[in-house]
């Protein structure tokens, strides 16, 4: 029974499937026939539709073949200016390593690193006790020699003159007595009363007194005439020698004070108190802070441009400072082929700008060159590595047509270029959107 039922069910399912297939074919045939009837009706109806009036419409933005483009009218130039930037660094005008002009022991340091000092301010001192002792000795000797000189200038005292005069008179009297004795003894000798020896004795005494009288008289004359000028000059020379020695001591004492040669900042302290230093040994490093200069290398061929001005603006640490051109060094750097220019910054910059800071100098240069300025967006690549641009020209029926023109790029500056080529003054150049354009295309330009 089950087998008969199974065969019966299978026949029934096959019948259902066959019926469904026939229904689907009939439905598809019906759809196709209905679409054909609708198309035929549409074609027939269109033959009896009233004819619409066709009007000429000028190209507009609504047409898919006409584009709006942004153009600019070009004008020629004969020259242009460019900005060149040169880099250098700041430097101090004066920087010194200071030391004493004599050796000795450092007893005082009045500064610390970073301190600002004024011109002539004492920075450090040496021990001067030995120099002070030598100075006292020399001053005592000078006082002694001055007293002698004063005595020489004053001459002999009256007491000395009177004493010398008395000696002369005494010798004269003794000489007169000896002369009288000699005369008497000569008479006695002639009479044979005395010997020749006795006569010679009297003659010798007379001659000795004559010599003493001459000496005493000379001494008296000297006292009466005063001190000789030669003796006074010799004494003055001794005093000048002592004064020179004292001056040398004073100079050494003055050299024991290390003074600042100019206003500046103590950049480095190299020794401490108690150090025994030699002549010229560095004690501190001083950097001038009242003036600052900038040293910049300029190509040799551009030096003539720098000479045209004396004042420039220099960019340091994102701030501009006014600087004066003070010098152009004559030597050319063999490695960079540049000449160094020196710019002196305004005084206020010395307290704001550190030594060794990067400085940038912008210099305007005018170049004679004919051409046209175009935006870089107007450029399109041409043949063989050249460049081109699109120009909008008048076509038939007042249409605007795109033409391609070859150009040469002369100079590039930011977002514009200087060009020359087959373009003319007054041409309208397509400024942007050139990737959507082809030569001969109809466009609508907007300036």
- The pLDDT tens digits of the residues spanning 42-72 come to 343 444 343 333 333 344 444 456 889 999 9
Q: Which of 320, 350, 367 is the last residue of a domain?
A: 367
In a domain, 119, yes or no: yes
Are 186 and 215 in a shared domain?
A: yes
Are 115 and 136 in a shared domain?
A: no
Are 262 and 117 in a shared domain?
A: yes
In a domain, 61, yes or no: no
Asked if residue 171 has pLDDT above 60, the reply is yes
Quickly state the pLDDT bin for 205 (edges 50, 70, 90): confident
Q: Which of 332, 367, 402 is the last residue of a domain?
A: 367
Name 82's Cβ contacts closer than 8 Å, sequence gap at least 6: 364, 365, 367, 411, 413
In a domain, 207, yes or no: yes
**Burial environment of residue 81 by CB neighbours within 10 A (0 to 12, 13 to 18, 19 or more):** exposed
Task: Identify the pLDDT of residue 53.
Answer: 34
Q: Give me the residue label for tokens 């009939």.
A: 26
The SS3 of residue 79 is strand
Quickly state the pLDDT bin for 443 (edges 50, 70, 90): very high
Q: Extract the tokens encoding 338.
A: 């540049």
Task: Identify the pLDDT of residue 87.
Answer: 94
Are 376 and 344 in a shared domain?
A: no
Cα distance between residue 444 and residue 392, in whole Å: 9
Are 268 and 218 in a shared domain?
A: no
Domain hosting 35: range is 1-42
115 within 8 A of 409, measured Cβ to Cβ = no
Q: Pick the residue with more confidence: 9 or 269?
A: 269
Range in 94-108, 141-155, 362-376 the model is least confident about: 141-155
In a domain, 243, yes or no: yes
Are 243 and 299 in a shared domain?
A: no
In a domain, 437, yes or no: yes
363 within 8 A of 86, measured Cβ to Cβ = yes
Cα distance between residue 108 and residue 283, in whole Å: 12
Are 112 and 136 in a shared domain?
A: no
pLDDT, tens digit (0-9, with 9 covering 90-100), for 218-232: 877 777 766 678 888
287 within 8 A of 117, measured Cβ to Cβ = no
Quickly state the pLDDT bin for 89 (edges 50, 70, 90): very high
In a domain, 209, yes or no: yes
Cα distance between residue 383 and residue 68, in whole Å: 26
Asked if residue 198 has pLDDT above 70, the reply is yes
Task: Identify the pLDDT of residue 411.
Answer: 92
Are 146 and 224 in a shared domain?
A: yes
Cα distance between residue 388 and residue 404, in whole Å: 7
Are 305 and 348 in a shared domain?
A: yes
Q: Extract the tokens encoding 190.
A: 């002639």
Q: Which of 377, 355, 359, 360 is nearest to 268 (CA)?
A: 355
Are 154 and 202 in a shared domain?
A: yes
Are 340 and 387 in a shared domain?
A: no
Find the mean pLDDT for residues 68-95. 91
CATH number at residue 360: 2.40.30.170
User: What is the CA 126 to chain-centroid distance, rounded?
Assistant: 35
Range in 121-135, 137-151, 194-208, 283-297 the model is least confident about: 194-208
Range in 54-68, 266-280, 342-356, 362-376 the model is least confident about: 54-68
Q: Which of 354, 346, 362 is nearest to 91 (CA)?
A: 354
Asked if residue 13 has pLDDT above 90, the reply is no
The number of distinct structural domains making up the chain is: 5
Find the mean pLDDT for residues 72-86. 92
In a domain, 54, yes or no: no
- Looking at the DSSP bridge assignments, the partners of residue 292 are 92
Task: Identify the pLDDT of residue 226.
Answer: 66
Task: Identify the pLDDT of residue 282.
Answer: 94
User: What is the CA 20 to chain-centroid distance, rounded?
Assistant: 103
pLDDT, tens digit (0-9, with 9 covering 90-100), for 223-279: 776 667 888 899 999 999 999 999 999 999 999 999 999 888 898 999 999 999 999
In a domain, 331, yes or no: yes
377 within 8 A of 393, measured Cβ to Cβ = no
Task: Identify the pLDDT of residue 152.
Answer: 80
Identify how many contiguous H helices and E strands the chain contains and give both numbers: 6, 21
146 within 8 A of 274, measured Cβ to Cβ = no
275 within 8 A of 318, measured Cβ to Cβ = no
Cα distance between residue 375 and residue 414, in whole Å: 9
Q: Indicate the pTM of the whole model.
A: 0.50
Are 313 and 400 in a shared domain?
A: no
Asked if residue 1 has pLDDT above 90, the reply is no
DSSP string for residues in 316-357: ETTEEEEEEEEEEEEEE-TTT-EEEEEEEEPGGGGGTS-TT-
Find the mean pLDDT for residues 129-152. 92
Cα distance between residue 81 and residue 79, in whole Å: 7
Compute the mean pLDDT over every residue in the chain, rounded to the nearest whole number: 82
CATH number at residue 283: 2.40.50.100
CATH number at residue 403: 2.40.420.20
Q: Which of 251, 277, 310 is the last residue of a domain?
A: 251
């Amino acid at each position: 029974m089950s087998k008969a039922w199974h065969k019966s069910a299978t026949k029934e399912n096959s019948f259902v499937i066959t019926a469904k297939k026939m229904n689907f074919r009939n439905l598809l045939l019906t759809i196709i026939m209905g679409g054909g009837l609708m198309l035929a009706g549409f074609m027939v109806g269109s033959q009896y539709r009233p004819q619409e009036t066709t009007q000429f419409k000028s190209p507009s933005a609504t047409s898919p073949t006409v584009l709006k483009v942004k153009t600019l009218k070009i004008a020629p130039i004969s020259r242009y200016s460019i900005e060149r930037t040169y880099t250098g660094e700041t430097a101090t005008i004066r920087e010194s390593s200071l030391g004493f002009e004599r050796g000795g022991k450092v007893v005082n340091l009045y500064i610390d690193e970073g301190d600002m000092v004024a011109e002539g301010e004492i920075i450090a001192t040496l021990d001067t006790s030995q120099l002070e002792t030598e100075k006292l000795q020399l001053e005592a000797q000078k006082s002694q020699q001055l007293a002698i000189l004063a005595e020489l200038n004053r001459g002999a005292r009256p007491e000395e003159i009177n004493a010398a005069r008395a000696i002369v008179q005494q010798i004269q009297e003794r000489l007169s007595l000896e002369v009288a004795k000699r005369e008497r003894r000569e008479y006695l000798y002639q009479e044979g009363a005395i010997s020749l020896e006795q006569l010679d004795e009297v003659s010798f005494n007379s001659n000795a007194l004559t010599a003493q009288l001459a000496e005493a008289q000379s001494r008296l004359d000297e006292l009466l005439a005063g001190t000789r000028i030669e003796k006074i000059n010799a004494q003055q020379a001794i005093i000048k020698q002592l004064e020179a020695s004292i001056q040398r001591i004073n100079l050494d004492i003055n050299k024991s004070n290390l003074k600042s040669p100019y206003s500046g900042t103590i950049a480095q302290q190299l020794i401490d108190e108690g150090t025994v230093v030699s002549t010229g040994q560095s004690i501190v490093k001083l950097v001038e802070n009242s003036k600052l200069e900038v040293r910049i290398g300029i190509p040799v061929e551009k030096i003539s441009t720098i000479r045209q001005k004396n004042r420039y603006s220099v960019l340091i640490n994102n701030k501009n400072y006014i600087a004066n051109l003070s010098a152009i060094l004559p030597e050319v750097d063999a490695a960079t082929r540049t000449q160094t220019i020196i710019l002196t910054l305004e005084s206020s910059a010395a307290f704001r700008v550190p030594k060794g800071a990067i400085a940038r100098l912008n210099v305007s240069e005018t170049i004679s060159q004919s051409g046209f300025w175009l935006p870089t967006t107007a450029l399109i690549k041409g043949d063989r590595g050249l460049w081109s641009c699109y120009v909008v020209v008048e076509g038939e029926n007042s249409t605007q047509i795109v033409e391609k023109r070859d150009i040469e790029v002369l100079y590039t500056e930011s977002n514009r270029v200087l060009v020359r080529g087959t373009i003319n003054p007054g041409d309208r150049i397509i400024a942007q959107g050139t990737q959507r354009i082809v030569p001969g295309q109809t466009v609508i330009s907007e300036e």
